Structure 1
Amino acid sequence: MSERGTRRLPAASVVVMLLAVAGCSADADPAEEPSATPPDLPGITAGPGGDEPGVDAPSVDPRIGSVTVTGVEDVATALAAPWEAHFLPDGSALVTERDAGRIQRVDRTAVTELTGPGADALAAVVDASGEAGLLGITTLPGDASVVYAYVTRADGNAVVRMELDGDELSAPTDVISGIPKAANHDGGRIAFGPDGHLYIATGDAAQPRLAQERDSLAGKILRVVADGTPADGSVPEGNPFEDLVWSMGHRNVQGLAWLPDGTMVASEFGQSDADELNVIVPGANYGWPEVEGLIGAPDGTELAQTVDGFTYPVAQWQPTSAASPSGIAATEAGVFVAALRGQALFWVPYSTGAGFGEPQTVLDGVGRIRAAVTDHGGELYVLTNNTDGRGSPAPGDDRLMRLDLETGP
């Protein structure tokens, strides 16, 4: 399952978007054939900043002027519909395989399937209908033996906790359950924030109205206590509504990350008009299904503004065939966005003083990309997603790949 090799790549060109397509950008169009190099897509835009409280992005001058991928190393190959990779302090990574409900440990020499009661339980209960299945995974900061995973079951989506001992997982304990599920729009990304709390991205479960219903866990970003104790899943201090909801009005968030200055960002699938990169503010409403990107916003609304109760994205891709963003990674250079239908890795420049720049393509030609992640040393990796029934797998797919980056002024 594992082989290593480094490929030198030419710099990818800036990508933005092209023709309008109808339909749901959920995960992909099953009939769509991947292309080795996506065409130039002239419609991606980024916001200069808002004139109402909520998002502060005052200009588009990035701190780092360019990022080039100069090489790609295959760390693992022959992964089956992988969804998330999470790096441990020892340099290995836990990789979820969505449909089989498996977790693989990847290191520089081997790929090893985790075993034990937890592994058996996940494989037994996973409901991998459509885009559902075993999705996000992370570990407790400071104690990588405590593992959290997001899984679709018959009774809905749930976040569970397990203990990792070597390559064995203990039986799972529910942290949160009863998150509405569907064959698509299940969210699924989980990540610990700088505050030590666990953030959970949920989708609208193909019921758009749920995103605007405060008493539903669907179409939200949740913030919960997760410290490996019975307090897991409780409401932490500082939540804006005194329940688990951190933000609302989301269609299908699949990327969560924090920039070095603490700014929280999330990527979100649009329906057909616009995919989004949002700065997440506690208590904010991101508008779905009333708005999608800037579609449906009052005349004159700009990116990164909060207008009439809805907070608008700092960057968008139009139409959704340009991106379909999934996992994201945030670094000093900005935000790296994995794109499924766009078949690219986008870079959105950012600095605290200068805000967000225009999205640019830094990697293409590897098919659908599900996740962008960093290890504990700050190196960037991507996880391809060509074996989930919507891509055209190449020999050796799917892959966890490490990227060599060069930055410029």
Structure 2
Amino acid sequence: MHAYRAALLRFNQQGQVLYDEDGLLVVGPDATGRQVVQLAGDFRALTSELARDFPGLAVTHWPGRILAPGFIDLHIHYPQTDVIGSPAEGLLPWLENYTFPHESRFGDLAYATDVARFFLDELQRHGVTTALTFATSHPQSVDALMAEARMRGLRLIAGKVLQDRHSPDGVRDETEQSLIDTETLIRKWHDVDRLGYAITPRFAPTSSASQLRGAGELASKYKAVWIQSHVAENRDEIAWVRELFPQSRSYLSVYEDFGLLRERAVYAHCIHLDDDDRALLRDRGAVAAVCPTSNLFLGSGFFDYAAADRVGHAYGLASDVGGGTSFSPFRTMLAAYYVGREGAAKPGLSLSPQRLWWLHTAGAAKALGLEGVIGNLQPGHEADFLVLNPAATPLLARKTAQARNLEELLFALIVLGDERVVERVAVNGAWARSAGG
């Protein structure tokens, strides 16, 4: 059992930020042995409860620091760690020239393990405590990442990529074997400690109808696993899908036609959708992973927040490394703000700082179907949290010292913050360490 005193950031059930300038966070084991939040709120208001329920418990005091939920990344590619920052004319040339050649190396378990360690270190360094991530088409790539995440006690969701056509040697898989491998990996890794499995067609053009149909059958059989893929990212890609699946109403409808739209289905990008597509996401309980740094870098387009909110489908934020340009949630939130400005119907803030922070924590947890489990620092939530230093750099210290309210404080952190803000990372109640110790 541990108790910490600092400023405390969390959310109520309506997604509104709760902020205690002098807060208390108590974490400890629940009846199942999970490390969870036991007590959270204003320090002085909880003094009596702390003494009564946790007599003699020492309180670690961090003046000038903020305790906040760990960030959640809704879409990222761990095998693309070394592809980040590669120049390309657009999505499809980028895949052909950089991504596929690099991913072909992940059939080597030792190589995949080395990248997995570095990848998880980077997530940790940037304050990301849960990620929904692509592996490659090689089962070894899943084994490497899951084994390393399990050793660290992480909550992580990942899956073997399915791509049995329109892919080069080295990453193209075989239809029947790919589905056998997927089911084997589900049974091996899903719901082991804090791990989850995601059925992972790369995107519709690289899967045959037989592979997509098999993926849908697995999604129906294993309803607790996740589904992840890409949709409507790039206009050239959309035209290609139209040629390959002329019977489907839209790109998104391809996944619906094969039984791949349901709760716990997360589709990256969702840029070029119409309202029928948005309603389909809403009605099936599927969600969008918004990837603003990737969309800006590859020139794909802008996610329409206003349309998503009008129709009522859920979404959360994601880095999309390596198309995305940073592991940092601060960079992702800032890019999301830029994108919202581009599509804003009227002058003003496109997305409020509180909304941006929620979309990368509690809102992302809700999108994953893990509301009440992660992404917040309310009692009963798993104890994944950060110690943030709002004075981590001279400019940030100067700016945050002048903040007149919470909105200005959070916005300064979003605009000026980076991994230097993240002083400590707690995973399942324990201070996280890198692969090197």
TM-score with structure 1 length normalisation? 0.30
More helix by share: 2
More strand by share: 1
Q: Rg bigger for which structure?
A: 2
Higher relative contact order (CA 8 A, sep 6+): 1
